[in-house]
A and B are shown apart, each in its own frame.
Chain A
């Protein structure tokens, strides 16, 4: 298993470097010059000033040289400096990563747990009113745009009932500590995490349901039933466990993209995460910061894919790692 992991990590590093190079050029293909953006904000613009800014950003150097400098930095774990925000990129990402991880992992847990739970019930009671009800419920949240669900949530739970805060990570200025702070953060987390979680829940529900119905038809389930095992045991041990593999695959794909995929949720709820940092960096053509966020997001996808492969083994011990 160790050699499997080592091999995957090595491949991952190569993929990551390829992504860095690709992103480096893709970003520069987009029209818009960071120096012009900055000069423009001062309400004036002259050639000498823009030239100075370009020199300061290192944008006056030939593209291959810029790429070499950047890749050299990434290899030595230096993601560069954001001239726009006058701070090291790693520091800027580090400040935002915990909030994003809290939001996305909570949302991920919600979607996975509810998705598997609802999917199991839907499969167990396939063709009944409960099955239809669950399917409709899940699809409503999948079909509705995230920003709409978010705004409706705010309208209902913040404006109308005043149960939950409408924005932010914590109550600003309350200076809470310990448990009180944790409760405060949890209150702020409920709506964004549910909004994001309910969206992804639908796919898990549908996937679990379909997969379980397929497994239920297989011979070993009949055998288990013939052995006299209870329905609950058959569903849990035999059907669900075997039906989980596609769900794990899907979760692996989702978990990686959750880091950069929460832009809308973070924006509507003013959640101070990576998604918004990335969005702002894109608008301002903050190349180093944008590339830095992409590196982190790509690394996360690779890491979660590796974890997914390891989880396969736990779910289905018959799977062996090819070294």
Chain B
């Protein structure tokens, strides 16, 4: 078995980072890499990956999620759901203060929700299910939904719904608020310094409500824009933590073998990044289901996993990643079968029409993957033209439906109602926008299944609905699912308990400690 495959298996099993039951030690400084440099740290206003990675230490949500995606208390210490599944009551922790010493109360929750509806695209979508939010007292918040919404308890982690201090943002122009550049949260670490282009420094919150935590004194997020330089920074001991995606995949096996290095693939369960090819269902050969199925057969996804992703990840079976709720692999299978692909193309009457392929401009691995897919498709007789763009340009082309095949990967947020359905329901076909149903797939049965799945109770009913939806989608191939991606986190082995939830490094370092 190739070593990289073995590494992938070990990561999948979480065997390379055993969490030992040791007594945490207090003190120490961690140097971690952040890439790219976040445009801002105010999580309610900026929601890109690096912002959450840093600000997940500063801000908090009402809940966090275990690796099995069960809700865990954070700013809410308990919660209850009414029998009709329309009223959710959260009891907030008492004694929580913002970093400036002011108390955190239900008024902050109400304010945050109103603000996020205007500033946070995903929170806005999630909160569309809410009829009203009330605060009967300072430490209770009651959400009343318009109708039952199965995944409602899954929308409260810090990146999806960060809590914002009302006393600092209320009545101000949010976009120019000075606290955007010196954020104040309730989290285990406080913002101290940001030397643009160099580093972001967070220091321990001495008044954190969980006694004894955080264990670390400081975190330095080092900004190193070049992937090779990030690898060297780890090799030369200048940084201790390389969060998932910090280095090119071909460097992972080498770095993993360094002395005192631990690697884990854990901490991405909530996001469950799934890579696929958008297929423009509207026009040309791709409007024919048989051509889309041929693409699934034509692409050697095991090769992509083993060679391009160095054994990291898992071949996707359909629209849901295997790590999220209601996943099923009881669907049609598409093994690598060029002969079958050719037969399907012939049957569909494909005559070599030119098909445009947009790779994803996220670095070397993605470029290589684009070339491999192009070669696979050419091998079965398709004429492929690669279109080179940067990320913003590519997004615009895809949003404007000006493409044939395009790479992407999206987070699934733990539940099909949050992160899967949005890509396949016909009400999400809206020109000019990304990350919705840009492929133009329209199937009333799928629309109904996702609508029913979101509000169905109990869980077994939801499972039944989503099983059916997955079967239909895999048969129709609205997009070509590629891999469940894995972004291994590489650390010095002295860094303990860095990842304790399904949100991983994005959930902050409050449990992390250094075994000095």
Is B220's CB within 8 Å of the partner chain A?
Answer: yes
Which residues of chain A have C-beta atoms less than 8 A from B46's C-beta? 38, 41, 86
For window 12-52 of A, CB contacts with B under 8 Å fall at 30-34, 36-47, 49-50, 52
- Distance from B177 Cβ to chain A, minimum over Cβ atoms (Å): 8
> Contact: A44 with B121, CB < 8 Å?
yes
Q: Which among B197, B413, B419 has the highest number of chain A CB atoms within 10 Å?
A: B197
Which residues of chain A have C-beta atoms less than 8 A from B432's C-beta? 36, 47, 50
> Contact: B121 with A87, CB < 8 Å?
no
Interface positions of B (Cβ within 8 A of A): 29, 31, 36-37, 39-40, 42, 45-49, 118, 120-125, 175-176, 180-181, 195-199, 201, 218, 220, 222-226, 228-229, 232-233, 235-236, 238, 389-393, 395-397, 399, 410-411, 413, 419, 422, 430, 432-436
> Complex: how many Å from CA A161 to CA B89?
61
For window 119-152 of A, CB contacts with B under 8 Å fall at 151
Q: Which among A154, A155, A273, A282 has the highest number of chain B CB atoms within 10 Å?
A: A154
> Contact: A277 with B197, CB < 8 Å?
yes
A-B contact pairs, 7 of them (CB 8 A): A42-B47, A43-B121, A43-B122, A49-B121, A87-B181, A155-B232, A277-B196
> Contact: A44 with B198, CB < 8 Å?
no
Q: Which among B39, B47, B49 has the highest number of chain A CB atoms within 10 Å?
A: B39
Nearest opposing residue in chain A for B400, CB measure: A31
> Contact: A45 with B120, CB < 8 Å?
no
Is A316's CB within 8 Å of the partner chain B?
Answer: no
Which residues of chain B have C-beta atoms less than 8 A from A169's C-beta? 195, 197-198
Is A257's CB within 8 Å of the partner chain B?
Answer: no
Is A95's CB within 8 Å of the partner chain B?
Answer: yes
Starting from the known contacts A166-B232, A166-B236, 10 additional A-B residue pairs (CB-CB under 8 Å) come to A40-B395, A43-B122, A43-B413, A46-B124, A86-B40, A267-B225, A276-B197, A283-B390, A284-B39, A286-B39
> Interface code A267-299, partner B: CB below 8 Å = 1, 0 otherwise?
111111100110010111110000000000000
> Contact: B430 with A47, CB < 8 Å?
yes
Nearest opposing residue in chain B for A81, CB measure: B176
> Contact: B220 with A36, CB < 8 Å?
no
Which residues of chain A have C-beta atoms less than 8 A from B222's C-beta? 167-168, 172, 270
Which residues of chain B have C-beta atoms less than 8 A from A40's C-beta? 395, 434-435
- Distance from B275 Cβ to chain A, minimum over Cβ atoms (Å): 15
> Complex: how many Å from CA A36 to CA B393?
10
Nearest opposing residue in chain B for A38, CB measure: B46
Is A99's CB within 8 Å of the partner chain B?
Answer: yes
> Complex: how many Å from CA A280 to CA B218?
27
Which residues of chain B have C-beta atoms less than 8 A from A267's C-beta? 225-226
Question: Which A-B residue pairs are the 4 nearest by beta carbons?
Answer: A272-B197, A32-B392, A42-B121, A42-B47
Q: Which among A36, A52, A84, A86 has the highest number of chain B CB atoms within 10 Å?
A: A86
- Distance from B416 Cβ to chain A, minimum over Cβ atoms (Å): 15
Q: Indicate whether A151 sits within 8 Å of B121 (C-beta atoms), given known contacts A172-B199, A280-B37.
A: no
Q: Which among B42, B176, B225 has the highest number of chain A CB atoms within 10 Å?
A: B225
Once A and B bind, how many residue pairs between them come within 8 Å at the CB atom?
Answer: 180
Nearest opposing residue in chain B for A170, CB measure: B198
Q: Tell which of A36, A83, A151 touches B228, judged by Cβ atoms closer than 8 Å.
A: A151
For window 49-84 of A, CB contacts with B under 8 Å fall at 49-50, 52, 56, 81, 83-84
Which residues of chain A have C-beta atoms less than 8 A from B39's C-beta? 84-86, 280, 284, 286
> Contact: B430 with A46, CB < 8 Å?
yes
Which residues of chain B have C-beta atoms less than 8 A from A280's C-beta? 36-37, 39
Interface size class of A (residues with CB under 8 A): 35 or more
Is A92's CB within 8 Å of the partner chain B?
Answer: yes
Is A224's CB within 8 Å of the partner chain B?
Answer: no
Interface positions of A (Cβ within 8 A of B): 30-34, 36-47, 49-50, 52, 56, 81, 83-87, 92, 95-96, 99, 151, 154-155, 158-159, 162, 165-170, 172-173, 267-273, 276-277, 280, 282-286
Q: Tell which of A36, A154, A155 touches B399, judged by Cβ atoms closer than 8 Å.
A: A36
- Distance from A161 Cβ to chain B, minimum over Cβ atoms (Å): 11
> Contact: A31 with B181, CB < 8 Å?
no
Q: Tell which of A36, A43, A52, A95 touches B410, judged by Cβ atoms closer than 8 Å.
A: A43
> Complex: how many Å from CA A56 to CA B36?
24
> Contact: B175 with A83, CB < 8 Å?
yes
Which residues of chain A have C-beta atoms less than 8 A from B391's C-beta? 32, 37, 283
> Contact: B393 with A30, CB < 8 Å?
yes
Q: Tell which of B196, B433, B435 touches A96, judged by Cβ atoms closer than 8 Å.
A: B196
- Distance from B122 Cβ to chain A, minimum over Cβ atoms (Å): 4
Nearest opposing residue in chain A for B232, CB measure: A166
> Complex: how many Å from CA A46 to CA B120?
11
> Contact: A268 with B389, CB < 8 Å?
no
- Distance from B157 Cβ to chain A, minimum over Cβ atoms (Å): 12
Q: Tell which of A37, A85, A170, A276 touches B392, judged by Cβ atoms closer than 8 Å.
A: A37
> Contact: A172 with B198, CB < 8 Å?
yes
Which residues of chain A have C-beta atoms less than 8 A from B48's C-beta? 41
> Contact: B40 with A269, CB < 8 Å?
no
Which residues of chain A have C-beta atoms less than 8 A from B40's C-beta? 84-86
> Contact: A270 with B124, CB < 8 Å?
no
Which residues of chain A have C-beta atoms less than 8 A from B42's C-beta? 86
> Contact: B124 with A43, CB < 8 Å?
no
Q: Tell which of A50, A56, A166, A272 touches B196, judged by Cβ atoms closer than 8 Å.
A: A272
Q: Tell which of B31, B37, B393, B436 touches A32, judged by Cβ atoms closer than 8 Å.
A: B393
> Complex: how many Å from CA A277 to CA B235?
26
- Distance from B492 Cβ to chain A, minimum over Cβ atoms (Å): 16
> Contact: B29 with A173, CB < 8 Å?
yes
> Contact: A95 with B196, CB < 8 Å?
yes
Which residues of chain A have C-beta atoms less than 8 A from B176's C-beta? 81, 86
Q: Which among A39, A83, A92, A283 has the highest number of chain B CB atoms within 10 Å?
A: A39
> Contact: A50 with B433, CB < 8 Å?
yes
Q: Which among B42, B435, B436 has the highest number of chain A CB atoms within 10 Å?
A: B435
Which residues of chain B have C-beta atoms less than 8 A from A33's C-beta? 392, 396
Which residues of chain B have C-beta atoms less than 8 A from A271's C-beta? 197
Which residues of chain B have C-beta atoms less than 8 A from A286's C-beta? 39
> Complex: how many Å from CA A254 to CA B390?
28
Which residues of chain A have C-beta atoms less than 8 A from B399's C-beta? 36, 45
- Distance from B395 Cβ to chain A, minimum over Cβ atoms (Å): 6
